[in-house]
Amino acid sequence: MSHYLSGVVKNSFEMVFEAVGKAFGNVYINKFGEAGESRVGLVLGEEFFLRVSSDVAVLIVLKELSPDETNIEVISCAGGTGIGSISYAAHKAYVHEVRDFLTTSGFQIDSEKEIPHFERCTTPPAGVKFFLKKCPYCDRKIPIASEECQYCGTKQPEYEKP
């Protein structure tokens, strides 16, 4: 399961990048572009959540909109536990931890958009006929170029580009 949150932080890219990087960038942190350009920052972190006995990952994407506005997108992904792979909302909690950290640190977030149970797109983008296929063994959807099913491990027939 994944959870998504986006918004506009009313502060400079550098201030937001430094704050979220220090607080959540325990796996990877990098920024692209130079001052005066529209910069982009990536922050990847993970945290152990006892309720799922597993690490939960968070990806924070920052984009400089203006000298005092930064777009933020936060995506968290948590594996589940038990037969139903229940995540006990760990993914949602991690996204909210980022949002709450920013607001308690004095940052203002406008235009928030939240998508609970955010999942990969199963509808191809315009102009693309398909990008998923069904595994002939377990019947689950997998990327069309997969050599092996990520769910059951069955070797897949060779992919032929259309």
Q: What pLDDT digit, counting tens, does each position of 34-66 carry?
A: 877 889 999 999 988 776 677 888 999 999 999
* pLDDT reading at 162 higher than 70: no
Neighbours of 152 (CB within 10 A): 12
The pLDDT tens digits of the residues spanning 116-147 come to 765 555 555 555 555 678 888 888 888 777 78
Q: What is the pLDDT of residues 96-114, one digit of tens each?
A: 999 999 999 999 999 888 8
For the chain, which domains are there?
Answer: 2-118 (3.30.530), 120-162 (no CATH)
Whether the CB-CB separation of 39 and 64 falls below 8 Å is answered with yes
- 140, two tokens: 């689950």
This prediction has a pTM of: 0.69
CA–CA gap between residue 75 and residue 82 (Å, rounded): 23
| Percent of the chain with pLDDT strictly greater than 90 | 42
123 Rama class: left (phi>0) / alpha (psi -120 to 50) / beta:
beta
